[in-house]
Structure 1
C-alpha cells in the first residue's frame, strides 16, 4: 500500500541544507533506515521542492502505515531523530490535530482508470 505525506521545512536556507545533509546515505544515522525497514516499511522516499517535503511510504497490504510508524517509534534512536528533525520542520496548516506529516489524499491514480 502506498501512502503519501507532506510537510514543510522552515524557510531558512542553512537549515534546509542541514536537513538535506542529514538525509544523505553517507550521513543518515544507520539506526534510522534499519528501524524503518524493521518496522515493516518496504520503501520510503522523501522529495523536496523549496521548503515543501513530499514523502511516499510503501507498506505491505496487511500493514497500515500507522502500525508501521508506531512500531518504528519503539526502536533505538528513532525518538531522538524525530526531535532533531523537528528543528527543521513545520506542520502544514492542513494537518489534522496530532498529525506531524499531513497525509495526502489521492486525486488521480492511473491504475484506477480503464485501459483502452
Structure 2
C-alpha cells in the first residue's frame, strides 16, 4: 500500500535521495583530515594537502573546499561574535558535517586516485 502524500513528503525530507559524487585526491585528503580532527583552519588544511600531495597547489585546495561545502560534506564554522571584521580566507575554520562523517569508511588513509561514492 503506497504512503499518503504528506508521509511521502516527510520521508523524502528525512531521507533524501543519495547522489553520486567523484572525490579527487585533494578532496579526499581534506575530508580525511577533517574526519580525524573534526575542525581545522583553511590554512591548516592547505598545508596538510600540500605536504601529502606535492603536485597539488593552493587553488586546487580552495576549489576543493568550495566544492565540498556545496555538497554539504563540510561547513564553515561561523565567526564568533567577538570578531568585528570578516575572517581572512586562510583563517576560516571548517568542520565536517554528518554527511561527511559517513564517508569515513570510504576515504582511504593514503588516497592515490579519485573515487566514486554515494552521499
Task: Output the TM-score relative to the length of structure 2.
Answer: 0.28
Higher helix share: 2
The structure number with the bigger radius of gyration is 2
